[in-house]
């Protein structure tokens, strides 16, 4: 497009306006098809131009124009995908699904383009390559790797099938996600007898009452949104009620769920078959090997050995956790047999008895505005930046927008969408709206989406009370913000390796898990608490009890993560040879690893969106892998505190900023870790943080 047609198109279609931030107040489902078609046309024209012979391939005449065109397509489609996740409507879903195959087809064709691959190779082999910056060299190396994984080297007759596989996988992943969302949105549990809600906190009852009133129903209404259903499992004295909501939650999107149309079983089988076929076309034995090519871990065997070692170390602690819980449940709660729907309830009661506090008591001290202030204060102290409220169009009235500055200069911005609602995908995540990029002496600053699903502010007696966060919610917020900092504080000016771009998948959780540690520091916590009724800060005595309880059941929690990670890795590694189906595999993993085995009806895998719709296929292990890095990195702050008494050591913070956050994906993650820590990573800090050190 020339400048005039670009400006005209942008005026008519906000998805084609790249002059600033997305115009969320103007974007409509009908804009999607037009924007996608125009951008695909523009990209295909650019690709055709770049395929033509060139006397010399340079960064400026080849890589830069290709990045320009693909960035616009990526940004526009990123907005569509984001809206599809946070404000799902029938019209938007239809537009997304209609255009997804076209976008997938383009990226697949691009990844298979031998002419472009040859030009990257020519650039790599040229004398000019040595003169490129390390960041640009890494981009060229990454591109060549991605072309190989994209099927560029396949025989011509196999490329159409490879393209079909990519399109089918994209469609299946979307369908998987939609089934989980639809099953979650459709389910309601109405409780008319208030006596059945004994044990439930007042704010949970108030939210359930408001939900019922909104639908014109009597009583109290619960859903499968986490903030609605989990308190039932944690606090409801009525065992049958706990079993009902547990069964609904663990069978959603399965053959045992409410609607057979939302059963993900066939989608799982189809995805696994396609991934296996893709791997074999590319010359790998299994999809796990394909998944690990751009990661830190080298082989599936290495990952499995890491997970089995962690399971072996955690098992004695998990067995002790479970024995204590069963003894307590039998003696104190009259539960002779501990069922899965009793675990959260009995655990909360045991925690209250052992440590003399409840999560509900703690929650009263964490009103969301105060938590946000405390989080910002920490970041401003550690990384010498300022965070202030900003203004721009948003997709929902709940969404807030902020800017990050250093020395009065803008370095990044972010959207904060914190509350659960109908039409919004569950969970918490960070995504990039725009990456950092330097062009012609100007800097395009990065922008992030930070999304959570916390309980929304409640209206009590006509008064809006701020949302109250559990301490787990606070940890989740810090986690996602760590991803955001990685994206926004980068100083790399090459788009493909700025911020989180180009970072190995199993290292991308390092900054997020690193940030979680500060949720256990009094120097941080004391500035982010104020009791919902009195405004009093969290008492130090209560905080000390929280610290004492920090590793409560950490053995069980570690084994649970290892179970999910091994299930994921074996699914994509040797599952095809076993012949006992997906349920058979998860049963087998549980028999080897778990000390607490869920009931036979549990269909956890049918809503395991991370690996079937979220990019974590043969990569779920990365949470634990990166936790080794993050715990060890945080050890540098602990060592500084041991010497000076100050955990918020600005010098260590500045070093972490310079060697990890600012560097982004411009060098291998292990080099960034070693530059910060001065040595190879060690598992010792992880075990110590979880109370499992020898």
Decide if 103 contacts 77 (C-beta within 8 A): yes
Q: At residue 410, what are phi and psi to the nearest 5 degrees?
A: -65, 130
| Cα→Cα distances 69→151, 275, 680, Å | 21, 29, 39
Measured CA to CA, the distance from residue 100 to residue 105 in angstroms comes to 8
| 346 in Cβ contact with 338 (< 8 Å) | yes
Label residues 46-68 b or e (16+ Cβ within 10 Å = b).
ebeebeeeeeebebeebbeebbe
Under DSSP, the state recorded for 658 is I
Whether the Cβ atoms of residue 606 and residue 581 lie closer than 8 Å to each other: no
Q: Is 478 helix (H, G, I), strand (E, B) or coil?
A: helix
Instruction: Judge whether 585 and 577 are in contact, CB under 8 Å.
Output: no
3-class secondary structure, 27:
coil
CA gap 30, 37 in Å, rounded: 12
Contacts 24+ apart (CB under 8 A), 142-146: 142/294, 142/496, 142/497, 142/502, 143/63, 143/496, 144/117, 144/120, 145/293, 145/294, 146/111, 146/294
Catalytic residues: 480
The Cα–Cα gap between 489 and 336 comes to: 53
Q: What is the DSSP string of 286-310?
A: SHHHHHHTTSS---HHHHHHHHHHH
């Amino acid at each position: 497009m020339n400048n005039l047609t670009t400006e005209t198109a942008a005026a008519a279609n906000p998805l084609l306006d790249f002059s600033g931030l997305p115009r969320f107040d103007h974007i409509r489902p009908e804009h999607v098809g037009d924007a996608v078609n125009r951008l695909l046309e523009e990209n295909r024209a650019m690709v055709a131009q770049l395929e033509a012979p060139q006397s010399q391939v340079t960064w400026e005449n080849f890589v830069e124009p290709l990045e320009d065109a693909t960035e616009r397509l990526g940004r526009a489609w990123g907005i569509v995908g984001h809206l599809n996740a946070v404000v799902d409507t029938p019209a938007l879903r239809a537009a997304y699904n209609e255009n997804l195959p076209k976008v997938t087809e383009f990226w697949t064709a691009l990844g298979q383009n031998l002419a472009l691959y040859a030009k990257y190779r020519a650039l790599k082999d040229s004398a000019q390559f040595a003169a490129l910056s390390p960041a640009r060299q890494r981009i060229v190396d990454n591109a060549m790797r991605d072309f190989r994984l994209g099927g560029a080297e396949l025989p011509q007759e196999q490329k159409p099938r490879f393209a079909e596989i990519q399109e089918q996988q994209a469609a299946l992943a979307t369908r998987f996600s939609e089934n989980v969302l639809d099953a979650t949105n459709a389910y309601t549990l109405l409780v008319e007898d208030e006596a059945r809600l004994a044990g439930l906190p007042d704010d949970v009852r108030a939210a359930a009452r408001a939900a019922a009133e909104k639908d014109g129903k009597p009583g109290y209404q619960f859903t499968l949104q986490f903030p609605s259903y989990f308190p039932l499992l944690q606090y409801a004295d009525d065992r049958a009620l706990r079993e009902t909501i547990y069964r609904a939650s663990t069978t959603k999107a399965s053959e045992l769920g409410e609607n057979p149309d939302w059963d993900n079983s066939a989608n799982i089988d189809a995805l696994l078959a396609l991934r296996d076929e893709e791997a074999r076309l590319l010359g790998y034995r299994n999809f796990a090997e394909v998944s690990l090519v751009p990661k830190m871990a080298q082989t599936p065997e290495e990952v499995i050995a890491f997970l089995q070692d962690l399971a072996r170390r955690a098992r004695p602690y998990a067995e002790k956790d479970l024995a204590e819980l069963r003894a307590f449940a039998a003696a104190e709660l009259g539960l002779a047999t501990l069922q899965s729907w009793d675990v959260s309830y009995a655990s909360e009661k045991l925690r209250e008895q052992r440590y003399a506090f409840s999560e509900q008591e703690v929650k009263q001290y964490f009103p969301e505005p105060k938590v946000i202030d405390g989080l910002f204060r920490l970041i401003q102290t550690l990384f010498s930046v300022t965070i202030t409220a900003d203004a721009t169009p948003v997709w929902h009235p709940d969404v807030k927008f902020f800017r990050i500055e250093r020395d009065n200069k803008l370095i990044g911005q972010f959207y904060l969408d914190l509350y659960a609602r109908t039409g919004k995908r569950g969970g918490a995540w960070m995504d990039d709206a725009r990456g950092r990029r330097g062009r012609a002496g100007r800097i395009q600053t990065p922008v992030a989406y930070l999304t959570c699903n916390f309980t929304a502010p409640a209206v009590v007696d006509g008064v809006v009370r701020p949302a109250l966060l559990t301490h787990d919610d606070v940890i989740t917020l810090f986690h996602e913000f760590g991803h955001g900092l990685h994206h926004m504080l980068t100083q790399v000016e090459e788009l493909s390796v700025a911020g989180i771009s180009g970072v190995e998948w199993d290292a991308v959780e390092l900054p997020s898990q690193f940030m979680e540690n500060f949720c256990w520091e009094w120097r941080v916590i004391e500035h982010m608490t104020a009791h919902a009724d009195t405004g009093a800060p969290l008492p130090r005595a209560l905080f000390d009890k929280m610290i004492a309880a920090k590793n409560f059941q950490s053995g069980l929690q570690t084994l649970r993560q290892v179970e999910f990670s091994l299930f994921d890795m074996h699914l994509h590694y040797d599952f095809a040879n076993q012949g006992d189906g997906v349920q058979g595999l998860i049963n087998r993993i549980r028999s080897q690893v778990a000390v607490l085995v869920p009931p036979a009806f549990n269909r956890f895998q049918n809503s395991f969106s991370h690996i079937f719709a979220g990019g974590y296929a043969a990569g779920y292990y990365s949470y634990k892998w990166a936790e080794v890095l993050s715990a060890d990195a945080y050890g540098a702050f602990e060592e500084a505190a041991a010497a000076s008494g100050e955990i918020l050591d600005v010098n260590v913070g500045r070093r972490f900023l310079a060697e990890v956050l600012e560097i982004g994906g411009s060098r291998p993650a292990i080099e960034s870790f070693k530059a910060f820590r001065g040595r190879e990573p060690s598992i010792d800090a992880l075990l110590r943080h979880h109370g499992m050190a020898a």
